[in-house]
Amino acid sequence: MTNQATIDRLLAAFPAVEPSEFRGQTRTVVPRESVFDALAFLKGDLGFDMLIDVTCVDYLAYRGARGRFGLVYLLLNTGSGERLVVRTFVDDPEPTVPSVVPLWEGANWLEREVWDLFGMRFEGHPDLRRIVLPEEFTAHPLRKDYPLQGRGERHNFPVITRAEG
């Protein structure tokens, strides 16, 4: 669904980008350092004007993972209907990425949700508070080391980093 020309232009501007394809979907892995610039380029020069989703995957025990967290941006070009998946890997213990709220206003709540459930910090986010969990909650429950079952409020659980896991 993504034009080859789009990928070629992205690769020309950011040679470190790794494109791949699965079930007709084009995905790219962008190094964490250049993720904001690449997204700004995709929005400004390649016309990806809508941000469909920002989400995160915790690869704590995933075979062949390249970082603790995989941040996923789903982009859409509303003019041509092109879609592109942009991924970047961020490692613990203090995962931080630049916020894309300056590019797409829609990222505001999506990034707050990722912060809430994964503990990913978004630098430059205007209002990085918890969104679905209460303010006083201490953990980030979609992390893989957070147990599904347990007694009472789960404040005491072993926190595992990728180096140990």
Partner 1 sequence: MPLERVLQPGNLARDESQEYLWTMNFGPQHPATHTTLRIVLKLDGERVVDAMPDIGYLHSGFEKLGEELDYNQYVTVTDRMNYVSPMANNVAWHMAVEKLMGIEAPPRCQYLRVIVAELARIADHLVCNGAVGLDTGAFTCFLYAFNPREKIYDIFEALCGARFTNSYTRVGGLMRDASPEAIRMIREVIRELPKALDDMERLLNRNKIFVDRTKGVGVLSKEEAIRRSVTGPIARASGVTRDLRKDEPYLCYRDFDFRVCCARAGDCYARYLVRMDEMRESLKIVEQAVENLPQGPVSVGMGERASLPSKGMVYSTIEGLITHFELVMSNRGFEVPCEEVYCATEAPNGELGFYLVGDGTNRAYRARCRPPSFLHFALFPHLIRGHTLSDVVAVLGSLNVIAAELDR
Residues in contact with partner 1 by CB under 8 A are 1, 22-23, 25, 27, 49-53, 55, 57-58, 62-64, 72, 74, 78, 81, 85, 104-110, 113, 117, 130-134, 141-142, 146, 148
Q: Which is nearer to partner 1, 6 or 108 (CB)?
A: 108
> Is the separation of the CB atoms in 14 and 30 below 8 Å?
yes
Minimum distance between the CB of residue 132 and partner 1, rounded to whole angstroms? 4
Dihedral pair phi/psi, residue 89, rounded to 5°? -105, 135
Q: Which is nearer to partner 1, 26 or 36 (CB)?
A: 26
Minimum distance between the CB of residue 61 and partner 1, rounded to whole angstroms? 9
Tell me, rounded to whole angstroms, the distance of Cα 37 from its chain centroid.
15
Q: Where are the beta strands (DSSP E) in 77-145?
A: 83-90, 96-98, 121-123
Minimum distance between the CB of residue 34 and partner 1, rounded to whole angstroms? 21
Minimum distance between the CB of residue 72 and partner 1, rounded to whole angstroms? 6
Q: Which is nearer to partner 1, 36 or 59 (CB)?
A: 59
Q: Which is nearer to partner 1, 3 or 55 (CB)?
A: 55
Cα end-to-end distance, the chain, whole Å: 37
Distance of alpha carbon 73 from alpha carbon 98, whole angstroms: 13
- Does 93 sit behind a cis peptide bond, omega within 30 degrees of 0 on the bond before it? yes
